[in-house]
Structure 1
Amino acid sequence: MQYIDTHAHVFSHHAKFVPTSRYRPEYTASVEDYIEQLDKHGFNQGVLIQPSFLGTDNSCMLAALAAQPKRLKGVAVIDNKTDMATMQALDKQGIVGIRLNLFGLPCPDLTLPEWTGFLTRLADIHWQVELHAPSAYLVQLLPMLKLYALDVVIDHFGRFDENKGVADPDFQTLLTILDATQHWVKVSGYYRLGENIGIQNAKDAFKLLVQHGMQNRLIWGSDWPHTQNESDMSFDKALNAFKDIVNDEALYNQILTKNNAALFRF
């Protein structure tokens, strides 16, 4: 089977971190280390996601894509004023979308001119928009993104309130507005849904996502090297937990192969 990992990071601890970064790793996660993980676990391709602590400096990720162009694609972080020529150059280097990591930031108003122009350019170049945001933000943003012909990827189960679990009113609202013609949900990073309770929260959320008809739009990524959770996590543990969360071998294989490939077009 052609397994694909849709969420991993590469970086150097010598890089210049953004001043507002909430986390600064003291180690390097190299492309060679990542490829070793893919090979060890039988994965053919992977998608690199620009980590928030590097801001819009995508150079480390771009170097990784250049080193492994047949096996890797990337999701960048760029300014919303970025012009089409710059985006086209990134596209040729293997970038397939942008990420908005909104934790610690106010929820943006996507109806403002700087956003509408940017989102139009993203649609024109056929890039995806990945949202790493709490469910309270997602329920505001998804209706605004409905106006654009974009694939919208929701990170880490929609990051609902870990203490409320799937009863979180915002997550319940999110379920009702999910659209299987536009939205994708990354059923990964279960440990970001709460210490000790994350795995149960993930199982509960997964069942509801399937019940809401999203089984063909669920994707998985290892979240390697599991930033801020390095001491407790590994690619092995993430993959085994995912198998436990899905509890259905056919759907497990579908997500890792058909679903992941459909979005990232490997």
Structure 2
Amino acid sequence: MFSENLPFQSNPSTPALKLPAGACDAHCHVFGPAKDFPFAPERTYTPVDAPWETLAALHDRLGIARTVLVQASCHGTDNTAMLDAIARSGGTCRGVGMVAREVTDAELQHLHDGGVRGIRFNFVTHLGKDADVGAVQELAARIAPLGWHAVVHFEADRLETLAPILKTLPVPMVIDHMGRPDASRGVTQPAFGMLLDLMADERFWVKVCGAERITRTGPPYDDAVHFARELVTRFEDRVLWGTDWPHPNIKKDMPDDGALVDLLARIAPEPALLQKLLVRNPTRLYWPEKFQARSNR
């Protein structure tokens, strides 16, 4: 039985915070439309349609210029909807795909040519079966020559087991949603301490999004801000941010994306930190050719 998702907010607020030029939403999704891009039969949830046109209009409203689409489990390893959106973006969009262990080199090259720059592995119970550790290790070795990275999505209590495995992978790794700690337990909790220890390795990056996922108090996510602020302060060159639109598997209090943007004024209040979080860091990871060109000027 598939769980049904709540609809995203169709009329989000316009943020008060003006984002820097070239700001990037480094974690969001496109879903369907199902009539054109059917959902995977093995999915654990059925999202509402969330097509590229709607996301592009949202980004215009929020002041976001660039996008990183992340393949979600509801589409499985069929990355067609994401590739279609990237192709329509005019070069302002990159992607993180999901692939099967049996993916061919030709298929990986096709994804690269289509704008994909990484693959995602899920270790989250409600999204179904964990990624196979052997497959993770094999695929990480295969994507390394492409200059890709791995995005890893896990629940906080899994990190103790996963950390030794992740440290063996030969590619940069991006941790989703601050490692999904329980915000009510504070930044001194052991799970968050393990994430900080992992981040001491410069191959690791972390996304300071998902306040609406780790909160235990709800909007305006006061309990979650401390985690994001800690990560931005400690690891300013290896942090990313995203809206997580259209917020799959949120069970109540569907986020206002304008309010999530305004939360950045508390997460990265210094202009230099905001510039790194939204512009410099995603350029380094997803548009490295542009970052290098700027560095050579």
TM-score of the superposed pair, with normalisation by structure 2: 0.79
1:8-47 CA deviation, whole Å, 9 max, x = no partner?
111125254334533312x321111111122222222101
Instruction: Determine the structure 2 residue equivalent to 1:8.
Output: 28
* Conservation of the 8 A alpha-carbon contact between 1:220 and 1:256: yes
What is the CA-CA distance between 1:206 and the residue it aligns to?
2.6
List aligned pairs for 1:16-27, cutoff 5 A: 16-25=38-47, 27=48
**Offset at residue 204 of structure 1 (A):** 2.2
- 1:42 aligned to 2:63? yes
Does residue 157 of the first structure (1) align with residue 178 of the second (2)? yes
Cα displacement string for residues 150-177 of structure 1 (whole angstroms, at most 9, x for unaligned residues): 1100011111134434343222122122
Q: Which moved more, 1:156-165 or 1:224-233?
A: 224-233
Q: Detail structure 1 runs of 4+ shifted over 3 Å in the superposition.
A: 15-22, 105-110, 228-231
Residue type at the aligned position of 2:228: F
Contact 2:208–2:231 (CA under 8 A) maintained in structure 1: no
**Residue ranges of structure 2 left out of the alignment (5+ in a row):** 1-20, 291-297
Match of 2:146 in 1: 125
> Any gaps of 5 or more consecutive residues in structure 1?
none
Query: 1:197: how far off?
Result: 5.2
Q: Say which structure, 1 or 2, has more relative contact order (CA 8 Å, 6+ apart).
A: 2
Q: Deviations over 1:190-237 (max 9, x none)?
A: 0000342572342221343256x3121111111112223486313211
Counterparts of 1:106 and 1:170, CA distance in 2: 22
Alignment TM-score, normalising by the size of structure 1: 0.88
**Which amino acid letter does the alignment assign opposite residue 5 of structure 1?**
D
Residue 169 of structure 2 corresponds to 148
Considering only aligned residues, what root-mean-square deviation do their CA atoms show, in Å? 2.3
* Percent of aligned pairs with the same amino acid: 31
2:94 is aligned to 73
Hey, what does 1:30 align to over in structure 2?
51
Shift of 1:131: 0.8
Matched, 1:58 2:74: no
Structure-1 residue corresponding to 2:228: 206
C-alpha distance 148-124 of structure 1, shift in aligned 2 (>3 A): farther
Whether contact under 8 Å (1:22, 1:53) holds in the other structure is: yes
Secondary structure of the residue aligned to 1:96 is strand
